[in-house]
Structure 1
Amino acid sequence: MIPDVWAPLSGLSVRRCEDEGLINGTWLAGDPPRYVVQRVSPIFAPEVHDDIEAVTAHLAARGLATPRLLRAGDGALCARDAEGAVWRVMDFVPGRTHHRVGSPVLARAAGELAARFHRAVDDLEHVYRHVRAGAHDTALHMERLDGAATGGEGRRLADAILDAFRTWRGRLDLPVRHCHGDLKISNLRFSEAGEGICLLDLDTLALQSIDVELGDAWRSWCNPVGEDSTETRFDLEVFAAAVAGYRETRPFGAEEREALVDAAERIALELAARFCRDAFEDRYFGWDPSRFPTRVAHNLYRAAGQLSLARSARRQRGEIARLLAGG
């Protein structure tokens, strides 16, 4: 039950959010919505709210739209319920959520929004209190998958993912910078006219390299059928538009361009490994019981889809490099 510590919620209707993500439980308060209420997954320490407050305050000071945390009556950024679960309340930002990029126009707006965020936090001085150690340590994810995979269909899929990473051609040594940490398209908010408004789901804010940040974005944006399909492909038209939108606001350096060529393939393989590992451990990702009999079945399906996406990106590596170079 939502802790009774946020006075502005008093008297507001509360309903489950239809666009709920895979990790946190999410409700909307008010009709029309005024606040987003979330039961925070235990994978995120309460200190993550100090990071969210620091970054969103910085964004707001730079004139960017952003959801802000609503402080409880005692001034805290979050609160626990009787069972110990952590809850928070944030401003509701009106707009649209997309679960896939249906056009180059939307991709261009997404790229421009991500670049605005990165440019705004270039001068942010903040030491993150909540650090997800190894969140994008791709080699470690592969090692954990190899250790978790036992037999059957899951082991065969795991071996295919591991083989693909062994022959991946990219680099892993770019410097870190302030990043959102999870730029899948559903974490970007758009106006009805298709303009980028702000970034949502801020639990993953962190210092990481730009190839990880944008590789994760592009593996989401450039997959026209979404994560719940095995018939995936890396859409070069969408990619070209996303790159153009980003570059107009924040141009790439030469070192960034080089590393970004293989970035989407890397993150697709990493996510494939995570989905596949959870098919054995059966404990992390949410799943859709209306489409799949078990979490295991859903995770195997998603892992196969991400592997297919990585293979598509690899086949088009030359075109990806040309587009990043401004071709």
Structure 2
Amino acid sequence: MNPERLKHIFDRFRLGEPLQLELARGGKIHETFLARTSRGWFVIQELKPPFNHLTALDAYAVTAHLIGAGFPAPEIFLTDRREPFYSDASGVYRVMRRMPGHVRETLTSPSMAFEAGIMTGRLHSVLKDIDYVPQFHLEGFHDPAFLVQKLLDTARKDPPKATPVAGFIERFRQEVPKYLPSKELPKRPIHGDLKVSNFLWDQEGRPCALLDFDTFMLGAYPVEMADAFRSWCGKKDGPEGRRFDQSLFDAAWRGYRETAPSWTREETAALLHALPLIFLELGVRYLIDYFEETFFSWDPSRYSSRSEHNLHRMTRQWALFDEILSKRTVLEEVLNLRRAL
């Protein structure tokens, strides 16, 4: 984002003169800046495709609803035309108030997982009353069957690149259908991407705000929570290797149930299948981007290409998928499903 464009954005959102500006690190998709003016600290984002002005409209509607209910979400600002975004030939931009707290990439204790569950339960309880239909739709998001077909179609167009990963493609083709829900689950307003880094945390290890409502949608609670548990409980490489931390799962589920709306028995049972499926879904998305190299960011200091980084991410999802299958009995006990299944 060049200085002239930044100045234009400052003017359109009436932020005042910039006193400090820095590029935010760590985002996988959007380009994000932190800006300080006489009015305080702001977050300026350039939305990257496929996200667009409809994404900004949805995020504004849901955050306004949450803030009105006392839930900690970032205030999104309006332009001089009373719109929650500014767009021109160069892209789509928005401005939010910078929230206190810091970003974490992992949960390190059951107490943190419990608190994340508490906040997510509150989120679902507040969102169930929102009177708004999302306008933006991210193609294939939380639609594993669609993604597998897209993977197969994409691979056929690039045989040289497909050959080294043919075994992974075939395994996705075989495994995904086994975990698809047998019947339609209730659709409810959900966040869509409750990964650890979308929470802000205080110094005591408690979440103090929730960020990134670009995937706000009507979806199933079991899918939402499976994706959350994937991030919260799926430990990265370390002394114990790749693993799904059962103690974090137990604590997070207990916290969530304290504040969440009631689930049907069928929804709780569906979570048992959604957990392995969510690792498959993300693995497919990484493998698609192995071919396309357009969606996820990558770390050039660690990998030779975006494709290589996506392959690493994809193989990690397989490792966690295999582990989650080995823990089915334990998960049934945590979910209190042993007598029902």
> What's the CA shift for 1:126?
0.6
Residue-by-residue CA offset, 1:31-74 (whole Å, 9 max, x unaligned) = 89711110111211202222112111111121111101111223
Report runs of 4+ in structure 1 exceeding 6 Å deviation: none
Q: Which secondary structure state, in structure 2, belongs to the residue aligned with residue 69 of structure 1? A: coil
> What's the CA shift for 1:130?
1.4
Residue-by-residue CA offset, 1:181-224 (whole Å, 9 max, x unaligned) = 11111111222212222210111111011111111101111111
RMSD: 2.3
Equivalent of residue 239 in structure 1, options 244, 249, 256: 249
CA contact (8 A) 2:194 2:227 kept: yes
Match of 2:59 in 1: 52
Match of 2:122 in 1: 116
Counterpart AA for 1:62: A
Q: Which secondary structure state, in structure 2, belongs to the residue aligned with residue 28 of structure 1? A: strand
CA contact (8 A) 1:262 1:317 kept: no
Greater helix proportion: 2
> What's the CA shift for 1:236?
0.8
In 2: Cα distance, 1:154 partner to 1:213 partner: 29
1:67 is aligned to 2:74: yes
In 2: Cα distance, 1:300 partner to 1:290 partner: 16
Report the TM-score when normalising by structure 2.
Answer: 0.89
Equivalent of residue 5 in structure 1, options 4, 7, 12: 12
1:264 is aligned to 2:271: no
In 2: Cα distance, 1:286 partner to 1:198 partner: 24
In 2: Cα distance, 1:242 partner to 1:118 partner: 14
CA contact (8 A) 2:287 2:310 kept: yes
Equivalent of residue 285 in structure 1, options 285, 289, 296: 296
Residue-by-residue CA offset, 1:100-139 (whole Å, 9 max, x unaligned) = 1111111111111111100011111111121224311111
Q: Percent identity?
A: 33
> What's the CA shift for 1:9?
4.4
In 2: Cα distance, 1:12 partner to 1:312 partner: 49
In 2: Cα distance, 1:206 partner to 1:170 partner: 18
In 1: Cα distance, 2:143 partner to 2:249 partner: 24
> What's the CA shift for 1:239?
0.5
Structure 2 portions without partners, runs of 5+: none
Match of 1:221 in 2: 232
Equivalent of residue 192 in structure 1, options 203, 206, 211: 203
In structure 2, relative to structure 1, the CA distance for the partners of 1:9 and 1:207 (3 Å cut) is: farther
In 2: Cα distance, 1:169 partner to 1:68 partner: 37
Match of 2:316 in 1: 305
Report the TM-score when normalising by structure 1.
Answer: 0.92
Corresponding residue pairs, total: 324
Equivalent of residue 214 in structure 2, options 191, 203, 210: 203
Structure 1 portions without partners, runs of 5+: none
In 1: Cα distance, 2:205 partner to 2:328 partner: 29
In 2: Cα distance, 1:221 partner to 1:31 partner: 35
1:79 is aligned to 2:86: yes
In structure 2, relative to structure 1, the CA distance for the partners of 1:106 and 1:9 (3 Å cut) is: farther
In 2: Cα distance, 1:232 partner to 1:157 partner: 18
